[in-house]
Structure 1
Amino acid sequence: MQGIATLVAGAATAALGLSFWSFDPPPALPPLVQLDPAPFAHRLDGDWQREGRPIDAPVATVSIPAPVQIMAMPVSVGDWMTCVTAGACARPGGPTDRADLPVTGVSWIDANAYARWMSDRTGDTWRLPSDVEWTHAAAELFRDDALGVDSDPANPALRWLAEYRVESARKRDLDTEVRPVGRLNVNSLGVHDIGGAVWEWTSTCLRRVEVDATGTILRESDSCGIYIAEGLHRAAIIDFVRDPKSGGCSVGVPPANLGFRLVREAG
């Protein structure tokens, strides 16, 4: 009788679709760093102009709108290939032979596919950080790429010379070695690998802003097929581009590689 009861109980469990032996534990989360709202000085993103000439974006006091957690390290090749195996991500354009390297050769569209896959797996909301969130996370490792000189209608050569100096410095500083995740640097918040050979996608659309002589905004528009990538300097890249050196609206020295990290929204 006891054997029959066990069989009956097993059949009932199967009928309910339950199995104590096939329980799938939630996936392990990557190391995360908590970001809490706090004001900081930030050079705004975007293409800023005055009287039809480019100028440096202004510095403003900003804050992230809500607490989030950001990946302490970029998404790795190993992480990405798990998504590929699951059929949710395409193979990257960068190398795949070392699981410990940050994934490269991924577009903004690719990065969002990975975020959707992570959200489905964990039940949390994962997404690309905004430009302000990324800058907050970069902390003291964020690089201000302003030229330090505004457009002078009477002497545009001043800005041309400044642009030449900045672009020359960027070429000298350009790091082309893709190091294993967590090996480049770490900042005061515990965020790794900021500003090396891998630029990181953000969720922030390129915006174009026209201001008058007092700095008052006259016109502003967003181009949401082009997104900000952060790294050694800011770049504006078309969402489907995987290899920034091939073009895609990057101004000046293009990023060496495109990768990303995600934020997890607070539950």
Structure 2
Amino acid sequence: MILIYLFFAGHLAAMPLDTKAPFELRGTPVAITQQPVPLPGEVFRDCPDCPELVVVPAGDFEMGSRETPYTSPPHRVSIAASFAIGRREITFAEWDACANDGACKTRGDDHGWGRGSQPVIGISWEDARVFAAWISQKTGRKYRLPTEAEWEYAARAGTTSTFWWGKDIGRGNANCEDCDATASHKAVPVGSFRPNGFGLYDTSGNAYEWVEDCWNDNYAKAPKDGSAWVTGQCGQKVLRGGSFANKANLAASAARFRYDLDVRYYANGFRLVRELQ
């Protein structure tokens, strides 16, 4: 069972930034104090309006599958340190705060489905990185896109099945084209379905999620330490989790896709990692 606590701004260990954000922050940065690093299972935010995060423990897992050439060969990956990851996909409300602050340069098109708690969509990989830099500067913590290995490790939550809930897509588990008898064919509010064993929502379906890695056609030379793969077809970046516009096979825990890093496709969003040390 996951232990849940709530930590607010200034209650976690300070995390110096390694880059200067390419904008001037309009708001007041959160004051930082030295506090113990949160433990696996703890849930917290760095500020009242910041994304809710959960701490995922260190561990080993088998990444990939033999289902497609793109997910082969399966390989053992070691995640050496715990990390915090967004429990939900970044929402329009969170994105709009960045846009209102002058950092995020696109509002994102909600296609009339609403903003607020809807996952932000129509966001490029480059846009997602700007958001990460903005919230890092705002909070004084280090936020970034997850590596592909971190994403799959968190999405699986200790499982080895096709989906974290089992072998088959079933009904009422996710938002995708064939995930239910009456598919919505649009994004739905984040957290509309039950979370996985680590407490993460929507790791299958709803919005595709950008990760840090360059695209490679297979895992033949993939890193085994959980780090981002920064060589390969780096004009394209990896997307994980499938979306409302995809079939269930692309919502599987091992499934992966790619897109040009500067393209704002209407089904693409993201969630963030917050480093702990």
TM-score, normalized by the shorter chain, greater than 0.5: yes
| Structure 2 residue 240 is matched with structure 1 residue 230 | yes
Cα-Cα RMSD: 3.0
Residue equivalent to 2:140: 123
The structure where helix makes up a greater share of residues is 1
Match of 1:80 among 76, 95, 103: 95
Shift of 1:243: 1.3
Shift of 1:224: 1.3
Structure 1: tracts of 5 or more residues without a match: 1-22, 49-53, 146-169, 212-220, 245-256
Q: Which moved more, 1:231-240 or 1:121-130?
A: 231-240
Shift of 1:65: 3.5
| Structure 2 residue 272 is matched with structure 1 residue 262 | yes
Residue equivalent to 2:77: 62
Give me the whole-angstrom Cα distance separating, in 1, the residues matched to 2:54 and 2:214. 24
Give me the whole-angstrom Cα distance separating, in 1, the residues matched to 2:92 and 2:160. 24
| CA deviation vs aligned residue, 1:63-103 (integer Å, no higher than 9, x gap) | 22422100111111000000000000022432184211110
Give me the TM-score of the superposition, normalised by structure 1: 0.64
Give me the whole-angstrom Cα distance separating, in 2, the residues matched to 1:134 and 1:178. 20
Check 1:92–1:42 CA distance in 2 against 1; reply closer, same or farther (3 A cut): same
Percent identity reads 31
Residue equivalent to 1:102: 119
Check 1:113–1:25 CA distance in 2 against 1; reply closer, same or farther (3 A cut): closer
Contact 1:92 1:103 in 2 (8 A): no
Amino acid across the alignment from 1:38: G
Residue equivalent to 2:57: 36
Return the index of the structure with the highest Cα Rg.
1
Give me the whole-angstrom Cα distance separating, in 2, the residues matched to 1:76 and 1:82. 10
Check 1:55–1:84 CA distance in 2 against 1; reply closer, same or farther (3 A cut): closer
Give me the whole-angstrom Cα distance separating, in 1, the residues matched to 2:137 and 2:122. 23
The structure where strand makes up a greater share of residues is 1
SS of the aligned residue for 1:63 comes to strand
SS of the aligned residue for 2:63 comes to strand
Check 1:176–1:67 CA distance in 2 against 1; reply closer, same or farther (3 A cut): same
Residue equivalent to 2:263: 241
SS of the aligned residue for 1:39 comes to strand
Shift of 1:197: 2.5
Check 1:210–1:203 CA distance in 2 against 1; reply closer, same or farther (3 A cut): closer
Give me the whole-angstrom Cα distance separating, in 2, the residues matched to 1:89 and 1:118. 11
Aligned residues: 194
Contact 1:198 1:258 in 2 (8 A): yes
Shift of 1:42: 1.2
| CA deviation vs aligned residue, 1:139-177 (integer Å, no higher than 9, x gap) | 2588859xxxxxxxxxxxxxxxxxxxxxxxx96448633
Q: Which runs of 4+ in 1 moved over 6 A?
A: none
Match of 1:93 among 85, 88, 108: 108
Give me the whole-angstrom Cα distance separating, in 1, the residues matched to 2:235 and 2:72. 21
SS of the aligned residue for 1:240 comes to coil
Shift of 1:205: 0.8
Check 1:44–1:123 CA distance in 2 against 1; reply closer, same or farther (3 A cut): farther
Q: Which moved more, 1:189-198 or 1:55-64?
A: 55-64
Structure 2: tracts of 5 or more residues without a match: 1-27, 32-46, 164-175, 221-230, 243-249, 251-255
Give me the TM-score of the superposition, normalised by structure 2: 0.62
Shift of 1:209: 5.3
Amino acid across the alignment from 1:34: V
Give me the whole-angstrom Cα distance separating, in 2, the residues matched to 1:44 and 1:238. 24
